């Protein structure tokens, strides 16, 4: 069985396709068009397999401390794994002109770019609407700094397409 990171066993038939050689700043969000909730920001390692996008959260940064001039920027330290099965990824893009992208440029070297992943929850919930009840999945997204964002964008989209065909 193949292993990556600290110790992460991959699923049967799963293989590592690409690993970011450096750490990434990752901002997790949940919310709608009108209101967004930043519920986690961390520094971590990003891995892409043929079945999942996997993140090893190394340091959790508190959202309220993500001010550029903050001296107390680092929050709690963790070694927690987070993964998104590729079949739940709904879009991959490069954010343009956002505040977080400007933060990347100030905090990180110019070699890293941001990549935004939107994905659906694996759990379905029932919501009431004007036309009755409907079953939906909550939508989430995360933005992360990455070396060679174009390569990652292409590779993730290719793997997502392959997983949706299975």
Domains with residue ranges and CATH for the chain: 3-165 (2.30.29.30)
Look at residue 77 in the predicted model and tell me its pLDDT: 56
Which pTM does this prediction carry? 0.76
46-69 pLDDT, tens digit each: 999 999 999 998 887 755 544 444
Look at residue 101 in the predicted model and tell me its pLDDT: 54
Average pLDDT, the chain: 78
Q: Which segments in the chain show pLDDT lower than 50?
A: 65-71, 73, 109-111
Give the integer Cα–Cα distance in Å for 10 and 2: 6
Per the CB < 8 A criterion, the answer to whether 66 and 91 are in contact is no
């Amino acid at each position: 069985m193949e292993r990556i990171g600290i110790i992460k066993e991959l699923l049967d038939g799963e293989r590592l396709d690409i690993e970011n050689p450096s750490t990434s700043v990752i901002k997790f969000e949940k919310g709608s068009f009108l209101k967004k909730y930043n519920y986690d920001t961390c520094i971590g390692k990003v891995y892409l397999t043929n079945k999942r996008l996997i993140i090893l959260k190394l340091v959790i940064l508190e959202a309220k401390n993500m001010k550029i001039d903050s001296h107390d920027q680092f929050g709690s330290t963790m070694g927690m794994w987070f993964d998104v099965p590729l079949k739940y990824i709904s879009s991959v893009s490069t954010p343009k002109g956002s505040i977080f992208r400007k933060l990347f440029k100030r905090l990180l070297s110019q070699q890293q770019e941001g990549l935004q992943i939107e994905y659906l929850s694996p759990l379905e919930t029932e919501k009431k609407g004007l036309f009755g009840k409907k079953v939906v999945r909550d939508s989430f997204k995360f933005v992360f700094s990455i070396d060679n964002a174009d390569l990652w964008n292409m590779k993730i989209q290719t793997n997502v397409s392959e997983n949706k065909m299975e």
